[in-house]
Amino acid sequence: MLRTIPDRETAAAVLAAFEDARRAGRSAAECYRAGVLAWRSRHPEQAPEYAAKQAVALILAQEKEGMFRIEP
């Protein structure tokens, strides 16, 4: 569950990084890592663990909405 509501630019950056990595054929872990790094670049003041949870929650929420099909 997202604890921080991301601004549109952060959400767009996270989702774009995830999708770009996915299109490049990266592993699922690398795709999520790309999203996390995008979040952290926009929120350097947040603890890495917190930022990772927020980015992954955002990606999963979008996947649930049907935007992405995440490969196992």
**Token pair listed for 30:** 């690398």
Cα 28 from Cα 10, distance rounded (Å):
20
Average pLDDT over the chain reads 87
**Residue range 2-22: mean pLDDT, rounded:** 87
Per-residue pLDDT reduced to its tens digit, 37-63? 999 999 999 999 999 999 999 999 887
Cα 10 from Cα 54, distance rounded (Å):
11
